[in-house]
Amino acid sequence: MTQVSIKDVAKIAGVSIATVSRCLNDPERVKENTRIKVQDAILKTGYSPNTLAQSFRRGKTHVIMVVLPSVGDPFFTDVMRGIRSVAAGRGYSLLINETQFTTMTEDEVGAMVVSRQADGIVLLASMSPFGTRVLSAKSGRTLPIVVGCEAISSDLTAYPSVHIDNVAAASEATNYLISLGHRRIAFIYGLEQSLLTKDREDGYRAAMQIAGLEIENGWVAEGKLSIKGSIEATRSLLNHHKRPTAIFCANDEMAMGCMHEIKSAGLRIPEEMSIIGFDDIRYAEIMDPPLTTIYQPAEDIGERVMYRLLYEIEEGRSVGAEPEIVPHRLIMRRSVARLAI
């Protein structure tokens, strides 16, 4: 079957190829009777414009690249729901790149940008310190970037971002434990030398210092942002010569592993060990016992990230590097109890 071209449409409509192109891309600039002729010719020929080729010529594809650590993380799943809802409503498609907490080289990022012609990039707590100059050098144009959740490397702080105040949130969680009489409070963080949960650790340490409480060596443990990693970290904490009475985990997934190990050791939650998580993922409320945690408005973060990115793409103006701080709140459930004296 012979493929119909724009030249065939122009011939049947009795107009130039340029006029057909204007009817497709900027119909307001074409007289009504001419538009009708072109539309009739399109219907007769069954012509279908190559929208991808059109996109390349215009320098726009309506494609957004989203870079995130793990597509299986329940928190990022909720953030993605917000991103998708805004993107779909504005006619944009998404390309997902999962880093699995590994780095991406400049060539890898450049190849993605060039081959897919993304209109913009969303970095969700991405572990990809790829040097932002590549986005201009490889693609021939500067791509808008918006950071969702934590800006995990210093070079990304120059870009607009949407997140909670992680330091304040972690301080609030730690102070809640202190207010209930806990003095031996441990913290399970994410990955060694990662900025992903550094602000949360800073908030924990600040609250402990202000309360005049010492942090024993070994009370701050790496949980590798996973259930398995937090099980190992919790095992170490339970064997500490000054066993903590409460553990603050830098995300809810690690709190799940922490609770599992505590129960396996024959201890009761919260009677013998209190646990606080972070994120308020969908499983937090149905854990046994239900998990006290810091709520992040994940879907709202996703929506706000996309609105900021689309403003830059469609208006051609920067929204500025000032971060947009969204509210968090402490969700008190039954995994925390007042320390019995």
Q: What is the pLDDT of residue 115?
A: 47
- Structural domains in the chain, sorted by start: 6-49 (1.10.260.40), 61-164+298-326 (3.40.50.2300), 166-295 (3.40.50.2300)
Question: What gap in Å lies between CA 233 and CA 254, rounded to an integer?
Answer: 9
The pTM of this model reads 0.78
Q: Does 68 score more than 60 pLDDT?
A: yes
Residues above pLDDT 90, as percent of the chain: 53
CA-only gyration radius of the chain, Å: 26
Question: Measured in Å, how far apart are the chain's first and last C-alpha atoms?
Answer: 85
Chain segment 114-151, per-residue pLDDT in tens: 444 578 889 887 644 444 444 444 444 467 889 998 76
Q: What is the pLDDT of residue 29?
A: 74
Residues above pLDDT 70, as percent of the chain: 81
| Of 211 and 312, more confident | 211
Answer yes or no: are the C-beta atoms of 336 and 176 closer than 8 Å.
yes
Q: What is the pLDDT of residue 26?
A: 67
Q: What is the pLDDT of residue 173?
A: 98
How many angstroms separate the Cα of 208 from the Cα of each of 182, 216, 217, 271?
11, 11, 14, 22
Chain segment 239-288, per-residue pLDDT in tens: 999 999 999 999 999 999 999 999 999 999 999 999 999 999 999 999 99
Q: What is the pLDDT of residue 9?
A: 84
Chain segment 201-254, per-residue pLDDT in tens: 999 999 999 999 999 999 999 999 899 999 999 999 999 999 999 999 999 999
Q: What is the pLDDT of residue 138?
A: 41
Instruction: Name residues whose C-beta falls within 8 Å of residue 238's C-beta, 6 or more positions apart in sequence.
Output: 261, 262, 265, 267
pLDDT mean over 144-171: 85
**Sheet containing 145-148, strands listed edge to edge, beginning at the edge strand earlier in sequence:** 93-98, 63-68, 120-124, 145-148, 161-163, 324-325
Where is mean pLDDT largest: 9-18, 43-52, 77-86? 77-86
Average pLDDT, the chain: 85
